[in-house]
Amino acid sequence: MPITPGSDSVVVEPAPVEPKAQVVQPEEPVAAVESAPNVHLAAIVTPTIPTPELEATEGAPLVSAAERRLFETVPEEIEGYFDLFMYVSKSNRGPLAQRMFVFQRDADGKVLPYAEWRVSTGREKVEIHHEKRVRTTTPEGIFMLDPDRFHQRYWSRTWDNAPMHYAMFYDLRNNEKASGLAIHAAVGKSKIRRLGKRDSAGCVRLSPANAKELFFKIKNTTQGRVPSFAVNEAGSTNRWGRVEKAVDGTLMLQDGYRAVLLVENFDGRDEVVGPVVAYTN
C-alpha cells in the first residue's frame, strides 16, 4: 500500500521562486498555465510539511532494492548535490512496478526513506492523436526539475487541456525543444483508480494528495545550487547525469532544486524476496 504522509495538511503556496541560473527546459510543447497569485513574501506563512519517521517492515527488501538501483545509477560526482531522491520503475509487472520511492538526506547527511507511492507512467505505445502518430513513452534516465515550471494548476494543450495539477516539469530539452514531461497529479476518479498501472501519455502521475505533498516539499525545502546537465550538439539534455564542466574540470552549477529523479524499466523480481509490504508511518 502507498504511504501518504502529511496528505491532510493545508498548504499555502509560497511566492514563485526566481532562479538565476540558465535552466535547461523540456520535449513536447505543453500546456496552458494558470499563474499563481502575486503574494508578498511578508504575508506568507511558509507551510511546514511533516517528515514521517518510517519504520521498516517486511517491505524493507522492496525499498532497499529501489535505493540500491538509484545510488548505483546516479553518478557519485553529482549525488552529493541533491537532498531529495525519487526512484520510479515504469515496468508493467513485478514488485517495483509503477511505484515511486522517495528518499531524503537528513541533517547528518544520511539518506533515509521518506515515502512509497503508486504511480502511472506512459502507456508505452504508438498512438494516433489528432491524426498524428505519438509515442506515449516515459523515457528512462536521470532528470532534474525545472524551477521555472512548477505550477499548482496546469492544463495540457497537447492533450486537449487535460489537467496536470501540481505539475513539476523536467529540466530537459529534446532537439532544442522544452520537454512536456512532468510529475503531476492524476485528476479524475478513473485516472486515480489506474494508479499502479501504465496509463499516462509519458508523465509520472501521482495521487492528488501525494503530488501536492511532493510539490511543496521540493519547492519549500530543496532550493540550492545543482549541477548543469550537459546538452549535446543537437540541443538535447544528457539523460544519464553527465554534466557541464569548466576548463579546470570543476562542475558548472545553476540555481534550482536539489531533487533528482531516476526512471527505469526494472521490475525488481530478481532483487526482492518475500511479501511486498509498504513502509508505514
pLDDT, tens digit (0-9, with 9 covering 90-100), for 189-205: 999 999 999 999 999 99
Position 270 confidence tier, pLDDT thresholds 50, 70, 90: confident
- Domain spans of the chain, in order of start: 32-264
Check whether 39 has a pLDDT greater than 60: no
Position 272 confidence tier, pLDDT thresholds 50, 70, 90: low
Q: What is the pLDDT of residue 79?
A: 97
Q: What is the pLDDT of residue 113?
A: 97
pLDDT, tens digit (0-9, with 9 covering 90-100), for 75-128: 999 999 999 999 999 999 999 999 999 999 999 999 999 999 999 999 999 999
Q: Which residues contact 131 (CB under 8 A, 6 or more apart)?
A: none
pLDDT, tens digit (0-9, with 9 covering 90-100), for 58-67: 457 899 999 9
**Mean pLDDT across the chain, nearest whole number?**
82
> pTM, whole model, 2 decimals?
0.77
CA pair distance 110, 101, nearest whole angstrom: 16
The three cell numbers of residue 137 are 513513452
Choose the CATH number for 32-264 among 3.40.50.10490, 3.90.850.10, 2.40.440.10, 3.90.190.10. Answer: 2.40.440.10
Q: What is the pLDDT of residue 60?
A: 77
Check whether 277 has a pLDDT greater than 90: no
Higher pLDDT pick, 3 / 201: 201
Q: What is the pLDDT of residue 226?
A: 98
CA pair distance 63, 65, nearest whole angstrom: 5
State the amino acid at position 194 in one-letter form: R
Check whether 17 has a pLDDT greater than 90: no
Q: What are phi and psi of 42, to 5 degrees?
A: -65, -20
Burial category of 255 from C-beta neighbours within 10 Å (exposed 0-12, middle 13-18, buried 19 and up): middle
**Do 199 and 120 meet the contact criterion of CB atoms below 8 Å apart?**
yes
The three cell numbers of residue 213 are 505533498
Check whether 184 has a pLDDT greater than 80: yes
Which range has the worst mean pLDDT, 114-123, 165-174, 268-277?
A: 268-277
